[in-house]
Amino acid sequence: MDIDFGIVDLFAGPGGLAEGFAAVQERDGRHPFRIALSIEKEASAHATLRLRAFLRQFPDFPPEYYEFLNGHRAEPSWREIYPKEWEAAEAETPLLELGTPHASAIIDRKIRAIKSRWRGRTILIGGPPCQAYSLVGRARNRGIVGYEPDKDRRHFLYEEYVRILKQLAPAAFVMENVKGMLSSAAGGGPIFQRVLEDLRNAGGTDCYRLFALTPGSEPSDIFDEPNARDFVVRAEHHGLPQARHRVIVVGLRHSIAAHPEISQFLGLERTDRTATTGDVLSGMPSLRSGLSKVLDSDDAWRQASLEAAEVVLKAADDLPEPIRADLLRIVEGHRDTIAKANIPPRSRSTPTTLPVSCPGDLRTWIEDPLVRRLPNNETRGHRRDDLFRYFFTAAFAEATGRSPRANEFPEDLIPNHRNWKSGKFADRFKVQILSKPSSTITSHISKDGHYYIHPDPAQIRSLTVREAARLQTFPDNYFFKGNRTQQYVQVGNAVPPFLALRIAECLRETLTDRLSDTALPEKGAA
């Protein structure tokens, strides 16, 4: 019996969660998860989301899209050439701010229509904004005069998720958030326990049973709820080239979850081989950094880069052996390359493939043979003194296999930060190591890139949007709208689509097995 599910995606961003769910495919080619509604409030992220919803209307993306990606034409007016598909995408992706009366009125009407069509075969997904929960966000909030957590509405946007959960009454839900949610507090108590209680009782007492996808502890009873820490999913354990740790809560309606063996097959399997930064970045075209606050040209960049090499060579006198000797050799080699080789451009249209080391399933997910030019792959400009630090950091990592800590920076390369030696800036400048998963890609990559330095010292730059998107496992044919800063924010805030695919596959097996024997009405039944 074929069972399809309607997906409602809240706080959708550019669509990472929905992309994973929509990609699940049965052996007969059928896609059991259909995106019924995706809601996002930020205009550039919404534009990306809407474009992707439009493309999903086709069995194969239209040729005009590849012509646009590959630089053969400007982006066409999709509304004009494919009016039916564009109208469907617009209906699927309203631009709304959740929690406002205007949005609630529109959403409530759409939810009623979705319930009528899909009956109980729906799934709610999404992650309320995390700024108020994240450790960085909380540290920033403490510096705001008069800030009161109890009055920060971002703490309670999950309540809008719960409100819609009650109204939709789906077969299952997936809620994602930052790990800082576990320790965040407001109203005199921990946020997370309140969230779990509200999710569990949405629609009635114990209406939903909560599951952790990667529990670290064995419950004493098969119906025991996991410990709070068990809800943390470590992406690098599941085939992603990124050490991203996020809270993911899965809930199943009690009638579906009331099966003694359900916890044995609802969970993410740990992969045998860890995917690395090099698995998705090696083989990408070499690009030079840009120069900010000065004239940017190839000659100016070469001069600034050679100056950076000399500054690092001189500063290396402060380093202990054998690091000093290894770093000197590496810097001299890259200096010679910069001096003699052709200067790479800031963007490059040559086709690229993933290296042979990339795990096959991840390669299949990211690569698209019809993409001849990687989109969103232009470098940004950096200040001259930051080039010195980027060169040093990348060379240090090449010599040691790790990024330098703040207390390992030579005196001449220490930035003018009063708190540099306080410990707060221990990882202020961090290079991504090719042989390891990357650090967590967050929206902060839009600010300065110091935490996301490219591993090649000769390129002296931070990651491009496309490189960050590959670490986030977005397919190469995923185009991000907006300016470059907005694109970085979209990528950093997103749920990695490849992880969403893994989660969706878990739910597909579980729900198909259970719903085939339940008394839920058929779709379209009165």
Q: Are strands 208-212 and 5-10 parallel, antiparallel or unpaired?
A: unpaired
Q: Identify the pLDDT of residue 277.
A: 98
Are residues 503 and 373 located together in one domain of the fold?
no
Q: Identify the pLDDT of residue 197.
A: 94
User: Could you tell me the mean pLDDT of each successive run of 10 residues in the chain, 526 residues long?
Assistant: 88 98 93 97 98 97 97 97 98 96 96 94 90 48 46 67 96 94 76 92 93 75 76 96 97 83 74 95 94 94 97 94 96 97 90 89 96 95 95 97 93 84 76 97 92 97 98 98 98 97 92 62 42
Q: Identify the pLDDT of residue 139.
A: 46
Are residues 379 and 411 located together in one domain of the fold?
yes
Q: Are strands 172-178 and 232-234 parallel, antiparallel or unpaired?
A: unpaired
List, as own/partner pairs, every contact residues 444-451 make where C-beta atoms lie below 8 angstroms and the sequence separation is at least 24, other chains included.
Answer: 444/136, 444/492, 445/488, 445/491, 445/492, 446/485, 446/486, 446/488, 446/489, 446/492, 448/386, 449/380, 449/382, 450/386, 450/389, 451/427
Are residues 175 and 324 located together in one domain of the fold?
no
Q: Is residue 68 part of a domain?
A: no
CA–CA separation, 177 and 172 (whole Å): 17
Are residues 305 and 168 located together in one domain of the fold?
no
Q: How many domains does the chain have?
A: 2
Are residues 265 and 299 located together in one domain of the fold?
no
CA–CA separation, 201 and 196 (whole Å): 9
Q: Identify the pLDDT of residue 261.
A: 62
Burial 93-102 (b: 16+ CB within 10 A, else e): bbbbebbeee
Of 61, 13, 507, nearest to 249 (Cα)?
A: 507
Look-up: residue for tokens 């600034």?
304
Are residues 459 and 323 located together in one domain of the fold?
yes
Are residues 407 and 362 located together in one domain of the fold?
yes
Q: Is residue 51 part of a domain?
A: no
Are residues 265 and 281 located together in one domain of the fold?
no
Look-up: residue for tokens 């599910």?
5
Are residues 344 and 362 located together in one domain of the fold?
yes
- Cβ proximity of 39 and 127 under 8 Å: no
Q: Is residue 297 part of a domain?
A: yes
Kindly report the backbone phi and psi dihedral angles of residue 306, in degrees, each rounded to the nearest multiple of 5, phi listed first: -65, -35
CA–CA separation, 22 and 475 (whole Å): 13
Parent domain of 135: 5-38+101-274+496-515
3-state secondary structure of 366: helix
Alpha helices in 425-496 (DSSP H): 465-471, 484-493
Give the Å distances, CA to CA, from 439 to 34, 243, 442: 32, 5, 9
Are residues 321 and 400 located together in one domain of the fold?
yes
Q: Is residue 59 part of a domain?
A: no
Q: Is residue 63 part of a domain?
A: no
Are residues 298 and 433 located together in one domain of the fold?
yes
Are residues 182 and 290 located together in one domain of the fold?
no
